[in-house]
Amino acid sequence: MAAEQRKLLEQLMGAGASSRHAQLSLSDPKVCRSYLVGTCPHDLFTNTKQDLGPCPKVHSEPLKTEYETSADKSRHGFEYDYMRDMQKYIDECNRRIDAAQRRLEKTPDEIRQTNDL
C-alpha cells in the first residue's frame, strides 16, 4: 500500500522530489541556518500575533544532524547569524511591547479625572 502511494506521489511530483533534500549541503542558501543551529524563529511564534508565517527555507533533519556532528562548527559562522537573527526578533518583540504599553499609559487628564473620583 505504501509503495503504491509513493509511486503515485513520484508520478505527480516528479522522480527527484523525494531526493531534493538529499542534494542540499550545509552551505546551500536554501537551507535554514537558524534551524540547523537551534530553532527557526518562524516555528517559535506560530498561532500568535508575532506569527512570521512558514519559513521560506528548507528544514532538513539530516542536515541538522550533520551540522551537530560536525567537528568545526565555527567555520560556518551559523551561530553568529543565529544570534544576530534572534536578537533582531527579540528587539522587534520588545518594540511591540513598548508600543502597547505606551498605548495603555494614562494621560494627565485621565490621571486628574481618576484622582477627582
Q: Which tens digit of pLDDT belongs to each residue from 11-56?
A: 776 555 445 555 788 888 889 988 988 888 888 878 888 888 888 9
- Of the candidates 94, 95, 93, 97, the one whose C-alpha atom is nearest the C-alpha of residue 45 is 93
The conformation of residue 18, written as its DSSP 8-state character, comes to T
Quick: pLDDT tens for 49-84: 888 888 899 888 888 888 888 877 666 788 888 899
Residues in the chain: 117
Does the global pTM surpass 0.75? Answer: no
How confident is the model at residue 103, as a pLDDT?
Answer: 86
Query: Which residue's C-alpha cell is 505606551?
Result: 102
Q: Is the pLDDT of residue 98 over 90?
A: yes
Q: Say how many C-beta atoms besides its own lie within 10 A of residue 59's C-beta.
A: 17
